[in-house]
Copies of this chain bind each other. A is one copy, B any other.
Amino acid sequence: MQHALDHTMTALADPTRRAILQKLAKGEARVTALAAPFDMSLNAVSKHIKILERANLVRRRREGREHILSYNPKPLDAASSWIDKQRAAWSSRLDTLERLLAAEDEQKKGKKR
Protein backbone atom coordinates (compact mmCIF):
# COMPACT_ATOMS: atom_id res chain seq x y z
CA MET A 1 0.00 0.00 0.00
CA GLN A 2 1.46 3.24 -1.14
CA HIS A 3 -0.74 4.68 -3.85
CA ALA A 4 -3.17 7.34 -2.67
CA LEU A 5 -6.02 5.43 -4.29
CA ASP A 6 -5.25 2.49 -2.00
CA HIS A 7 -5.78 4.67 1.04
CA THR A 8 -8.86 6.34 -0.39
CA MET A 9 -10.59 3.12 -1.37
CA THR A 10 -9.62 1.40 1.87
CA ALA A 11 -11.12 4.31 3.79
CA LEU A 12 -14.35 4.04 1.80
CA ALA A 13 -14.60 0.27 2.25
CA ASP A 14 -16.00 0.47 5.77
CA PRO A 15 -19.62 1.47 6.46
CA THR A 16 -18.76 3.30 9.69
CA ARG A 17 -16.23 5.43 7.87
CA ARG A 18 -18.63 6.17 5.03
CA ALA A 19 -21.22 7.26 7.59
CA ILE A 20 -18.67 9.51 9.28
CA LEU A 21 -17.80 11.08 5.96
CA GLN A 22 -21.45 11.72 5.18
CA LYS A 23 -21.85 13.52 8.47
CA LEU A 24 -18.75 15.59 7.93
CA ALA A 25 -19.90 16.56 4.45
CA LYS A 26 -22.71 18.40 6.20
CA GLY A 27 -20.37 20.28 8.47
CA GLU A 28 -17.53 20.07 10.93
CA ALA A 29 -17.88 17.98 14.05
CA ARG A 30 -16.03 16.92 17.17
CA VAL A 31 -14.88 13.34 17.71
CA THR A 32 -17.42 12.68 20.47
CA ALA A 33 -20.29 14.01 18.41
CA LEU A 34 -19.31 11.82 15.49
CA ALA A 35 -18.94 8.76 17.67
CA ALA A 36 -22.27 9.14 19.48
CA PRO A 37 -24.56 7.32 17.00
CA PHE A 38 -22.31 4.30 16.65
CA ASP A 39 -22.58 1.17 18.72
CA MET A 40 -18.87 1.02 19.45
CA SER A 41 -16.36 2.64 21.76
CA LEU A 42 -15.04 6.14 21.27
CA ASN A 43 -11.64 4.62 20.72
CA ALA A 44 -12.90 2.53 17.83
CA VAL A 45 -14.27 5.63 16.14
CA SER A 46 -11.02 7.45 16.86
CA LYS A 47 -9.22 4.73 14.91
CA HIS A 48 -11.60 5.02 11.98
CA ILE A 49 -10.94 8.74 11.92
CA LYS A 50 -7.23 8.04 11.77
CA ILE A 51 -7.76 5.92 8.67
CA LEU A 52 -9.81 8.71 7.12
CA GLU A 53 -6.99 11.14 7.93
CA ARG A 54 -4.42 8.84 6.37
CA ALA A 55 -6.53 8.96 3.22
CA ASN A 56 -6.59 12.75 3.54
CA LEU A 57 -10.37 12.73 3.50
CA VAL A 58 -10.55 14.29 6.94
CA ARG A 59 -8.68 17.21 8.44
CA ARG A 60 -8.18 17.86 12.14
CA ARG A 61 -8.00 21.19 13.93
CA ARG A 62 -7.54 21.54 17.68
CA GLU A 63 -9.56 24.00 19.68
CA GLY A 64 -8.58 23.60 23.28
CA ARG A 65 -9.36 20.08 24.29
CA GLU A 66 -11.66 19.57 21.35
CA HIS A 67 -10.51 18.13 18.06
CA ILE A 68 -12.65 19.51 15.28
CA LEU A 69 -12.83 17.42 12.16
CA SER A 70 -13.61 18.66 8.70
CA TYR A 71 -14.18 17.04 5.36
CA ASN A 72 -11.76 17.21 2.47
CA PRO A 73 -13.32 15.90 -0.73
CA LYS A 74 -10.18 16.21 -2.89
CA PRO A 75 -9.13 12.53 -2.77
CA LEU A 76 -12.57 11.57 -4.05
CA ASP A 77 -11.72 13.18 -7.37
CA ALA A 78 -9.08 10.58 -8.16
CA ALA A 79 -11.28 7.74 -6.94
CA SER A 80 -14.24 8.87 -8.99
CA SER A 81 -12.03 9.47 -11.98
CA TRP A 82 -10.52 5.98 -11.81
CA ILE A 83 -13.90 4.32 -11.59
CA ASP A 84 -15.38 6.35 -14.40
CA LYS A 85 -12.41 5.55 -16.61
CA GLN A 86 -13.09 1.87 -16.04
CA ARG A 87 -16.69 2.29 -16.99
CA ALA A 88 -15.71 4.28 -20.07
CA ALA A 89 -13.17 1.65 -21.12
CA TRP A 90 -15.88 -0.96 -20.86
CA SER A 91 -18.44 0.88 -22.93
CA SER A 92 -15.92 1.89 -25.58
CA ARG A 93 -15.04 -1.77 -25.93
CA LEU A 94 -18.72 -2.57 -26.25
CA ASP A 95 -19.06 0.13 -28.87
CA THR A 96 -16.24 -1.42 -30.83
CA LEU A 97 -17.91 -4.81 -30.67
CA GLU A 98 -21.20 -3.34 -31.80
CA ARG A 99 -19.50 -1.59 -34.67
CA LEU A 100 -17.81 -4.83 -35.71
CA LEU A 101 -21.08 -6.70 -35.60
CA ALA A 102 -22.81 -3.95 -37.53
CA ALA A 103 -20.09 -4.04 -40.16
CA GLU A 104 -20.48 -7.80 -40.38
CA ASP A 105 -24.19 -7.34 -40.92
CA GLU A 106 -23.49 -4.85 -43.69
CA GLN A 107 -21.25 -7.40 -45.38
CA LYS A 108 -23.95 -10.07 -45.26
CA LYS A 109 -26.42 -7.67 -46.75
CA GLY A 110 -23.93 -6.86 -49.46
CA LYS A 111 -23.45 -10.52 -50.30
CA LYS A 112 -27.17 -11.04 -50.68
CA ARG A 113 -27.46 -8.33 -53.24
Binding site for B on A (CB under 8 A): 3, 5-6, 9-10, 12-15, 18, 21-22, 25-28, 30, 33, 71, 73, 76-77, 79-80, 82-84, 86-87, 89-90, 93, 99-100, 102-103, 106-107, 110
Contact = CB atoms under 8 A, between A and B. Distances in A.
A71 B80 CA distance: 18
Quick one: copies of this chain in the complex? 2
B25 A14 contact: no
Nearest to A12: B9
Q: Give the secondary structure class of A's interface.
A: helix
B80 A25 contact: no
A71 to B, nearest CB: 6
Contacts of A5: 12, 15, 18
